[in-house]
């Protein structure tokens, strides 16, 4: 009987499941602070600019400083070991945020969380790329990334409920502890997949220069990296502030906000990831140019939905639009990372994922969140309590920028595909 090549093996399914849990853990630790921003603001008497520094920029600074070194390690050393250590560190730092004694200590600990989480993308995506064949890679990436909306769902539900009943400190204490157990599971039960390419000592010596040269020369890969970074500039600048927007502009309580964000970002993300994985498998059929086309479509759906979310007065309609927005986000995110792993090749996959993580976190999660806070403070004289709404409207325009990069990817890969088809007849 012939083996069904469309199915994953037992070992592959176990790896994808554990990595999905790791992504969930990562998003819980990252997301929970977003629903806790207003309680933290009131306890320490912070401005929106200071909140943006805590929720985004300081976290991003840690990622920027650690991403490329960790990505280089992921291309040379056992990835499961690096990943296990990183999980333990970011979970411990999140837990310690619950006992922070000042705003300054919160900043220091969030810096540590960001630095440790920089190790996730280069290790996990590199392992997936080596574990599954290229034709199933997009589906595997989609499965692993289901952990992102699941973690978002748990983070907002747990953060909203615990903060509403016990305060923001117990929320951070309770979500940090499980990650320490997950680190042990990764370290002791995951197997290190064999690499497609084992770097030599000579390649190690010149790898950083070769890496940046390859990125620059391969314009399709360059635009994928830039598109992913700008995607995060748009989505992370808003996700850091959705909870505050709903509380300020719609008068929603912190507990209800947690439920709304869990339902929209969580269930919407799960549905969007499922759709993205299905389209990548059944429509793309391994064609990278079609993956780029899916990403373009997702971006052009996301943009008008974001405008409706921010301008409609009816809360029910806002929640529906936000749910659909989160679905559309994964139509961009999942194909983008699958494209990056396919175009990068085995020699530089870890560093490519690290570069995307570094740029996306620094410019998106860091600068985007901080810029939104600055815009909100600057517009307060004009818009009053609605200043955050206008700041978010400005930031949503960057989704069109991201769509432009994926459009460039599509045309470049389309040209390569035509060249490959026509080559035998020449």
142-176: string of b/e by CB count within 10 Å (b at 16+)?
A: bbbbbbbbbbbbbbbbbbbbbbbeeebbebbbbbb
Residue in 224, 164, 229, 146 with CA at minimum distance from that of residue 405:
224
What is the architecture of the domain spanning 10-189+207-414? Up-down Bundle (1.20)
Q: Is 70 exceeded by the pLDDT of residue 6?
A: no
Tokens representing 226 are 């830039």
Least confident window among 87-91, 113-117, 402-406, 417-421: 417-421
pLDDT value of residue 173:
82
pLDDT value of residue 198:
52
Q: Is 90 exceeded by the pLDDT of residue 102?
A: no
pLDDT in tens, 110-158: 899 889 988 898 898 889 888 888 777 778 888 888 888 888 778 777 7
Domain edges within the chain = 10-189+207-414
How far is residue 39's CA from residue 174's CA, in Å, rounded to a whole number?
Answer: 17
How far is residue 110's CA from residue 157's CA, in Å, rounded to a whole number?
Answer: 21
- Asked if residue 211 lies in contact with residue 104, where contact means CB atoms within 8 angstroms, the answer is no
pTM value? Answer: 0.73
Mean predicted confidence (pLDDT) in 276-301: 85
332-362: string of b/e by CB count within 10 Å (b at 16+)?
A: bbbbbbbbbbbbbebbbbbbbbbbbbbbbbb
- Asked if residue 134 lies in contact with residue 10, where contact means CB atoms within 8 angstroms, the answer is no
pLDDT in tens, 17-76: 999 999 998 888 877 777 777 788 888 877 777 777 777 778 878 888 888 888 888 888
How far is residue 138's CA from residue 338's CA, in Å, rounded to a whole number?
Answer: 5
Residue in 279, 317, 309 with CA at minimum distance from that of residue 296:
279
């Amino acid at each position: 009987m012939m083996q069904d090549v469309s199915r994953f093996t037992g070992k592959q399914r176990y790896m994808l499941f554990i990595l999905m849990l790791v992504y969930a853990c990562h998003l819980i630790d990252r997301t929970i602070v977003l629903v806790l921003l207003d309680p933290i603001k009131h306890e320490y008497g912070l401005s929106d600019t200071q909140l943006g520094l805590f929720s985004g920029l300081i976290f991003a600074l840690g990622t920027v400083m650690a991403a490329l070194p960790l990505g280089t390690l992921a291309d040379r050393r056992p990835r499961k070991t690096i990943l296990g250590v990183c999980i333990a560190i970011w979970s411990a730092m999140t837990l310690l945020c619950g006992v922070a004694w000042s705003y300054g200590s919160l900043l220091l600990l969030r810096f540590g969380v960001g630095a440790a989480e920089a190790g996730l993308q280069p290790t996990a995506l590199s392992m997936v790329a080596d574990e599954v064949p290229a034709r199933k890679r997009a589906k595997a990436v989609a499965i692993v990334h289901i952990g992102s909306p699941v973690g978002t769902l748990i983070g907002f539900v747990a953060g909203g409920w615990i903060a509403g009943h016990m305060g923001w400190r117990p929320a951070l204490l309770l979500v940090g502890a499980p990650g320490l157990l997950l680190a042990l599971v990764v370290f002791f039960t995951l197997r290190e997949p064999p690499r497609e390419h084992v770097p030599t000592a000579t390649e190690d010596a010149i790898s950083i220069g070769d890496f940046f040269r390859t990125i620059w020369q391969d314009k399709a890969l360059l635009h994928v990296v830039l598109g992913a970074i700008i995607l995060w500039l748009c989505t992370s600048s808003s996700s850091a502030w959705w909870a505050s927007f709903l509380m300020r502009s719609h008068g929603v309580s912190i507990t209800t906000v947690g439920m709304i964000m869990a339902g929209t970002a969580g269930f919407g993300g799960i549905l969007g990831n499922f759709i993205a994985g299905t389209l990548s498998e059944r429509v793309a059929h391994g064609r990278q140019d079609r993956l780029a086309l899916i990403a373009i479509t997702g971006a052009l759906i996301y943009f008008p939905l974001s405008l409706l979310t921010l301008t409609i007065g009816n809360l029910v309609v806002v929640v529906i639009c936000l749910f659909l927005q989160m679905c559309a986000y994964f139509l961009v995110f999942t194909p983008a990372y699958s494209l990056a792993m396919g175009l990068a090749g085995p020699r530089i996959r870890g560093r490519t994922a690290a570069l995307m993580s570094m740029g996306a976190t620094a410019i998106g999660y860091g600068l985007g969140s901080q810029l939104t806070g600055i815009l909100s403070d600057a517009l307060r004289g004009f818009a009053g309590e609605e200043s955050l709404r206008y700041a978010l409207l400005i930031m949503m325009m960057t989704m069109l920028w991201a769509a432009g990069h994926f459009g460039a990817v599509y045309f470049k890969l389309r040209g390569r595909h035509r060249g490959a088809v026509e080559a035998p007849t020449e």
